[in-house]
Amino acid sequence: MDYYIAWLIPLGPLVAAVVGSIIAFLNPRASFAHLVTWMGLTISALASLYCLFRVDVAHDVVIAGGYNWLDFAQMRVPISLQLDATSLVQICVVTVVGTLVAYYSAGYMHGDKAYARFFAIFSAFVFCMTMLVLADNLLVLYMFWEGVGLCSYLMIGFWYERPSAAQAALKAFVINRLADTGFLFGILLLWLGIGQVTTADSGIVSRLDYKVIFEALPTLASSHPDLLFMVAAMLLLGAIGKSAQFPLHIWLPDAMEGPTPVSALIHAATMVTAGVYLMCRMAPLMVMVPGVLVFAGWLGAITALLAASVALFQDDLKRVLAYSTVSQLGYMFMAISCGAVADLMPLAVMAALFHVATHAFFKALLFLSAGNVMHAMGDVIDMRKFSGLKGVLPKTHILFLVGGAALAGIPLLSGFWSKDGILGLLVAAQHDSPYAFSFQIFFVVGLITAGLTAIYTSRAYYHTFQGKPVFPKEAGDHPHEATTQMLLPLAVLAVGSVFLGLAIGPTGMIGDYLHDIPHLAVAEHGEHHSWVLIASAVVALAGVAVGCLSASQAWTFRSAGEVGKSFSSAGKNRFYMDEMMAAAFVRPAEFISARMSELDLQGIDGLWRKIVELPKKAGWAFSFMQRGQLGGYSLLMAIGLVAYLLLLSFGG
Amino acid sequence: MINPALFIGPCLVAVGLFGFLTRRNLILMFLSLELMLAGVSLNFVVFGKMHGDLGGQVFAILILVVAACEAALALSLIVALVRLRGTLDSKAWSALREFQFDDQAGSGGRMAEDKIPELAGRAAEDHSHPEGYEDLPKLTPAGLDPQTRPVDSDFKLPDLAGRA
Amino acid sequence: MELWLTYAFCAVAVVLAISFALIKHPVHAALSFACVVLAAAGVYLLQDAAFVAASTVVVYAGATIIIFMFVLMFAQQTNLLDYDTLKQNPLAAGVVAIALAATVIVVALRELPTLEAQLAAKNPVAEVAAKDAATDIKTEAAVAVAAKADRFTVAKLGAAFYTRYLLAIEIAGTLLLVATLGAVVIAQREPQADVKETTKL
């Protein structure tokens, strides 16, 4: 059967983006701008759900072709969509969450002076994201990888009049560029390598089709193992940039300068999981270089622990959530790293994607709830300035509670299942593996992070909604609950947060989906360790208890002695990661560029200034002739005349 | 036998040239030019006789006509110039000079520019640009204004370090 | 006789020209210019150019000099100003002028004999004269006839003006007319300038 309907998935947002841009140019405040985006995204979401249920992923990978971007001689660039388990799960998350956030945004952004622009960029982002996910070619993926980066930049800097927003946008863009450069090199290396081992004249660009890559992999692994290692390392670099992993995670917390719906969609649910998606997509390649995978796991572990610790000390509600996102992304990378044990790769991909899906729902829910809080508090998001919002925002309170519980991993909610899946996998990976030690560490880190997650989530919840009601003066006299239009998408997300874990995980309702990853050996169901389940539940509940207790008793690390105090201040300063990055990259770059600038100004510019001065000097030397005096000019003329005459007469 | 009259022509031209170059009185400069013309037409006549051709004389007459026209126009021009500057000094006219020679320009009969009604106040202006500079077509300066120093003296690199 | 007269006129012309160049007083200089023109007219006469001589005297020594004098006096009431007394670049100008004259004269001395020989070869009258010189038989009549035939007259010049050189003369006349008009236009006072002139001059 033809899956031309799959083309609706990217085309809906694309049309919405184009139409939205035109509207934005004509009337930036157009109050109907959201309708176009709503329509495009709804079509997209419905189409992707349709594909999810219709495509028989167990048997084949569906390639929906039909569009040739370029076709002459060796250059053949057909753009086609690949529908398989990995992409379908991701695409459904993207379009469904995207659609819900779009519904929400119409209320949240109401009255903004660049209302239409917001929705144009929003649609453009969803388009790029769908193409990124559905691409069947690494080059096309890269193209839209940059596209989502651009949209992210535009969205973080949406209120570009604000210097902090503009700087955050720049920071995100530059750090992503750093990583993307590596990614691009990886792609080029891979292209080179595949060119070495295949003689298929399927077109130069088609060499990077996933199918071609995966078929060429065994040959490549035996003939060019070094190259494969480099490619994997480069792809990992790209992934950790986009997915904000240590040490490139510092852009994500600053990205919260963008509008909250954007934080929810781009910087929590979808774009930042593109790195995880890339690892999953390239799983058949990654599984051949377990060293890189374990390294990814270490990065993930460090990120998860570090970000969770920092989240403990943040006062800004959105920043807590941002660090939580970073930490959860670290979880996903730990999950992927289990692929270092080759048999576990399908399960690793499954666990990672499972967490991506559940995380998208509950994190989007949390962000949008935080958006409601912000909306009611007059754009104040500092938790020290308000508390006890339970009374004024009852519905938001419930929604936040659901999302927070899912994040904290309260049993039976979705976060619990996906986190448990990852922890179980980490335990399974410890058996007969050369990397057992690493996985033991990962497991411990995972447990600790789970506890920390529960603590900071409950702390944030408690500070915001419990306690005696305090409002900042920006909120006005009567803080009000968000409109129904804004609450309904949240309700849908909340339902997802509660039941998605159950649906995919233990009940296996749609779980079959993830059990067959193309190009990988069919996954064996690993033995399940029920003690892991219990341990993670205990840790989560304990964390919640500690968090609530510390928040209500005002117990802080500050009161826990000298060590606690310094730990606390370090956490408040994000463990000086930004400073370290500045010292490691920014300062040297500035130093070099300052020297270069000096070289340019004094060396090169100096040289050409000297050269420029030559004719000037020469002109100066002869300018004594230009006195404007008739006598002088005529004398010169006469000298010239006589000289010419002499030459004519005696010159030969 | 070479006609001695042939040599008077070049002599008159040379003396006229000398006079034109050394004189500063506009009228006498002009008379020097006439002298040169006279020398030339003399040679025409002599050569015409040598060649047995009347063309030499005809040309001399034509030169005479041209000299007369020139005299008429030059005198009217001189009258107009004298009206502007009140002097016959050719150094009173130096608008085409390079400006660093402003202070050296002319002594004596030259009128200071600010005393000339048409140009009064010009001396007070900035002479870094010639008159009418604003209306001239200009290249858009790429980067720094070449009129100023290439880099301002207080220019320094933006403090990027403080931002991190 | 003619030759000696020519020498005399040439000497007078050159001496007066030099004095014209050197005299400081502008009126004296102009007068010596007039005398140079008169001497030149003498040379013209000796070269069978009576009409050119007459018109030179009338146009230069008469009209031009007189008008120049007018302007000179109109513009310069006081006598000697420093722009008359001071010469500019006398040394350089002298070198240039001498170089010019010397070059031309040297070239003339170098080239003229050949030219004369060529002319003699072409000119029947000169041929006769040359033959006479060769045979040393001087037939007065032949020389007179030849000289008469060779001599330019005003009548011949007039005929040439109205036949061969008609267009040139017409153009010259037109040029004179245009120059007259131009002179009138340029010398015209602008109405606004009137007030200033009366106060200034």
Chain B residue with the nearest C-alpha to that of C94 = B18
Adjacent-strand bridge partners of A387: A470
Residue A517: the pLDDT is 59
Quick one: pLDDT band at residue B40, thresholds 50, 70, 90? very high
Highest mean pLDDT among A8-17, A502-511, C127-136: A8-17
> Residue A49 carries which side chain, given as an amino acid letter?
L
Selected residue with higher pLDDT from C131 and A538: A538
What distance lies between CA C107 and its chain's CA centroid?
A: 21
Tokens representing B90 are 């050719």
Q: CA-to-CA distance for A616 and A435, rounded, in angstroms? A: 72
Residues 6+ apart with CB under 8 A from A288: A217, A221, A228, A232
Residues 6+ apart with CB under 8 A from B90: A629, A630, A631, B24, B25, B26, B29, C83
Q: Which residues of B touch C98 (CB under 8 A)?
A: 14
Cβ atoms of residues A251 and A232 within 8 Å = no
Kindly state the helix (H) or strand (E) to which residue A563 belongs, with its residue range.
helix A561-572
Closest approach of chain C CAs to the CA of A646, in angstroms? 7
Residues 6+ apart with CB under 8 A from A31: A115
Selected residue with higher pLDDT from A510 and B78: B78
Instruction: Map residue A341 onto helix, strand or coil.
Output: coil
Quick one: pLDDT band at residue B106, thresholds 50, 70, 90? very low
Quick one: pLDDT band at residue B142, thresholds 50, 70, 90? very low
ipTM over 0.85: no
| Separation in Å, CA A66 to CA A53, A54, A633, B98 | 22, 19, 79, 73
Look at A629 and B90 and tell me if their CB atoms are within 8 Å.
Answer: yes
**CA triplet A316, A306, A291: central angle to 5 degrees?**
145
Cβ atoms of residues A339 and A297 within 8 Å = no
Q: pLDDT tens across A481-498, in order?
A: 777 788 888 888 888 888
| Separation in Å, CA C191 to CA A213, B77, C197, C198 | 93, 17, 10, 12
Residue A413: the pLDDT is 81
Q: Which residues of A touch B150 (CB under 8 A)?
A: 605, 609
Q: CA-to-CA distance for A291 and A312, rounded, in angstroms? A: 32
Highest mean pLDDT among A30-44, A496-510, A536-550: A30-44
Q: Which of A581, A590, A629 sits opposite B94 (nearest CB)?
A: A629
Closest approach of chain A CAs to the CA of C87, in angstroms? 10
Q: CA-to-CA distance for A250 and A319, rounded, in angstroms? A: 12
Look at B12 and C26 and tell me if their CB atoms are within 8 Å.
Answer: no
Q: Which residues of C touch A629 (CB under 8 A)?
A: 88
Residue B113: the pLDDT is 46
Quick one: pLDDT band at residue C200, thresholds 50, 70, 90? very low
Q: What is the residue whose two structure tokens read 């011949």?
A: C156
Residue B37: the pLDDT is 92
Q: Which of A167, A628, A630 sits opposite B105 (nearest CB)?
A: A628
Q: CA-to-CA distance for C191 and C197, rounded, in angstroms? A: 10
Residue A609: the pLDDT is 80
Closest approach of chain C CAs to the CA of A609, in angstroms? 37
Residue A82 has pLDDT above 60, yes or no: yes
Q: What is the mean pLDDT of chain A?
A: 81
Residue A307 has pLDDT above 50, yes or no: yes
Residues in chain A: 652
Closest approach of chain B CAs to the CA of A623, in angstroms? 7
Residue A521: the pLDDT is 56
Look at C89 and A635 and tell me if their CB atoms are within 8 Å.
Answer: yes
Selected residue with higher pLDDT from B107 and A295: A295
Instruction: Map residue A102 onto helix, strand or coil.
Output: helix
Residue C171: the pLDDT is 92
> Residue A414 carries which side chain, given as an amino acid letter?
S
Q: Which residues of A touch B164 (CB under 8 A)?
A: 578-579, 581-582, 586-587
Closest CA to A333 of A426, A409, A216: A426
Closest approach of chain A CAs to the CA of B17, in angstroms? 8
Inter-chain Cβ pairs, chain A and chain B, closer than 8 A: 60
Cβ atoms of residues A329 and A244 within 8 Å = yes
Quick one: pLDDT band at residue A556, thresholds 50, 70, 90? low
Question: How large is the angle between the packed helices B26-51 and C65-75, nearest 10 degrees?
Answer: 170
Closest CA to A189 of A289, A272, A271: A289
Residue B59: the pLDDT is 92
B101 touches chain A (CB under 8 A): yes
Other CB atoms within a 10 A radius of the CB of residue A441 amount to: 16
> Residue C137 carries which side chain, given as an amino acid letter?
I
Instruction: Map residue B16 onto helix, strand or coil.
Output: helix
The C-alpha torsion from A388 through A390 and A391 to A397, rounded to 10°, is 150
Quick one: pLDDT band at residue C181, thresholds 50, 70, 90? very high
Residue C187: the pLDDT is 81
The alpha carbon dihedral of A416, A418, A424, A427 has a sign of negative
C interface test, pick of A635, A642, A648 with most C CB neighbours within 10 Å: A642
Q: CA-to-CA distance for A323 and A452, rounded, in angstroms? A: 12
Residues 6+ apart with CB under 8 A from A24: A30, A33, A114, A116, A117, A119, A120
Cβ atoms of residues B117 and B50 within 8 Å = no
Chain A residue with the nearest C-alpha to that of C102 = A646
Q: Which residues of C touch A642 (CB under 8 A)?
A: 96, 99-100, 103
Q: pLDDT tens across B58-91, in order?
A: 999 999 999 999 988 988 888 888 888 777 888 7
The C-alpha torsion from B130 through B132 and B138 to B144, rounded to 10°, is 50
Residue B114: the pLDDT is 44
Residue A446: the pLDDT is 87
Highest mean pLDDT among A87-91, A122-126, B76-80, C107-111: A122-126
Q: Which residues of C touch B66 (CB under 8 A)?
A: 172, 175
Arithmetic mean of pLDDT, A244-252: 83
Q: CA-to-CA distance for A276 and B118, rounded, in angstroms? A: 81
Selected residue with higher pLDDT from A100 and A575: A100
Chain A residue with the nearest C-alpha to that of C111 = A649
Q: CA-to-CA distance for A136 and A202, rounded, in angstroms? A: 14
Residue A202: the pLDDT is 58
Question: Residues of B numbered 15-74 whose beta carbons fall under 8 angstroms of chain A's beta carbons: which are they?
Answer: 17, 20-22, 24, 29
On the CB side of A380, CA atoms within 13 Å amount to: 18
A639 touches chain B (CB under 8 A): no
Look at B21 and A631 and tell me if their CB atoms are within 8 Å.
Answer: yes
Kindly state the helix (H) or strand (E) to which residue A52 belongs, with its residue range.
helix A33-54
Residues in chain C: 201
What is the DSSP secondary-structure string of A401-448? Answer: HHHHHHHHT-TTSHHHHHHHHHHHHHHHHTTT-TTHHHHHHHHHHHHH
Cβ atoms of residues A117 and A28 within 8 Å = yes
Tokens representing A587 are 């300062």
Highest mean pLDDT among B116-125, B137-146, C21-30, C38-47: C38-47
Residue B125: the pLDDT is 45
Q: pLDDT tens across A323-332, in order?
A: 888 888 888 8
For chain A, which residues lie within 8 Å of any Cβ of chain C, measuring from their own Cβ? 629, 631-632, 635, 638-639, 641-642, 645-646, 649-650
Residue A290: the pLDDT is 85
Closest approach of chain C CAs to the CA of B22, in angstroms? 5
Closest approach of chain A CAs to the CA of B150, in angstroms? 8
Q: Which residues of C touch A646 (CB under 8 A)?
A: 99, 103
Arithmetic mean of pLDDT, A441-449: 87
Inter-chain Cβ pairs, chain B and chain C, closer than 8 A: 261
Highest mean pLDDT among A63-67, A315-319, C18-22: C18-22
Arithmetic mean of pLDDT, A341-352: 79
Q: Which of C71, C152, C179 sits opposite B79 (nearest CB)?
A: C71
Look at C89 and A649 and tell me if their CB atoms are within 8 Å.
Answer: no
Q: What is the DSSP pairing of strand A75-83 with strand A62-72?
A: antiparallel
Residue B133: the pLDDT is 60
Quick one: pLDDT band at residue A287, thresholds 50, 70, 90? confident
Residue A314: the pLDDT is 80
* Residue B130, preceding peptide bond in cis (omega within 30° of 0): no
Q: Which of A416-420, B59-63, B148-152 has the lowest mean pLDDT?
A: B148-152
Neighbours of chain C (3+ CB pairs under 8 A): A, B
Q: CA-to-CA distance for A629 and B107, rounded, in angstroms? A: 12
Residue B141: the pLDDT is 44
Residue B104 has pLDDT above 60, yes or no: no
Tokens representing A425 are 């996998």
Q: Which of B17, B101, B163 sits opposite A627 (nearest CB)?
A: B101
Selected residue with higher pLDDT from C37 and C200: C37
Residue B75: the pLDDT is 86
Q: pLDDT tens across C46-100, in order?
A: 888 889 999 999 988 888 888 778 877 777 666 667 777 777 778 888 999 999 9
Look at B12 and C36 and tell me if their CB atoms are within 8 Å.
Answer: yes
Closest CA to A401 of A466, A445, A461, A312: A461
Other CB atoms within a 10 A radius of the CB of residue C201 amount to: 11
Arithmetic mean of pLDDT, C188-195: 62
Residue B61: the pLDDT is 92
Residue A387: the pLDDT is 75
Arithmetic mean of pLDDT, A396-414: 84
Look at C40 and B61 and tell me if their CB atoms are within 8 Å.
Answer: no
Residues 6+ apart with CB under 8 A from A8: A43, A44, A47
Tokens representing A180 are 């993307």
Q: CA-to-CA distance for A210 and A366, rounded, in angstroms? A: 35
Highest mean pLDDT among C133-137, C175-179, C183-187: C175-179
B139 touches chain A (CB under 8 A): no
Q: Which of A635, A639, A645 sits opposite C103 (nearest CB)?
A: A645
Q: Which residues of A touch B105 (CB under 8 A)?
A: 627-629
SS (H, E, C) chain C: CHHHHHHHHHHHHHHHHHHHHHCCCHHHHHHHHHHHHHHHHHHHHHCCCHHHHHHHHHHHHHHHHHHHHHHHHHHCCCCCCHHHHCCCCHHHHHHHHHHHHHHHHHHHHHHHHHHHHHHHHHCHHHHHHHHHHHHCCCCHHHHHHHHHHHCCCHHHHHHHHHCCCHHHHHHHHHHHHHHHHHHHHHHCCCHHHHHHHHHHC
Q: What is the residue whose two structure tokens read 């000697």?
A: C80
Closest CA to A383 of A562, A587, A551, A629: A551
Residue A261: the pLDDT is 87
Residue A525 has pLDDT above 80, yes or no: no
Q: What is the residue whose two structure tokens read 């944030």?
A: A460
Residue A564: the pLDDT is 63
Arithmetic mean of pLDDT, A442-470: 84
C112 touches chain A (CB under 8 A): no
Look at B96 and A623 and tell me if their CB atoms are within 8 Å.
Answer: no
Q: Which of A219-233, A386-400, C152-166 has the lowest mean pLDDT?
A: A386-400
Q: Which of C30, C173, C189 sits opposite B31 (nearest CB)?
A: C30
Closest CA to A477 of A396, A378, A567: A378
Q: CA-to-CA distance for B46 and A232, rounded, in angstroms? A: 102
Residue B139 has pLDDT above 70, yes or no: no
Look at A642 and C99 and tell me if their CB atoms are within 8 Å.
Answer: yes
Look at A632 and C100 and tell me if their CB atoms are within 8 Å.
Answer: no
Residues 6+ apart with CB under 8 A from C176: B65, B68, B69
Q: Which of B90, B94, B150 sits opposite A609 (nearest CB)?
A: B150
Look at C99 and A641 and tell me if their CB atoms are within 8 Å.
Answer: no
Residue B13: the pLDDT is 92
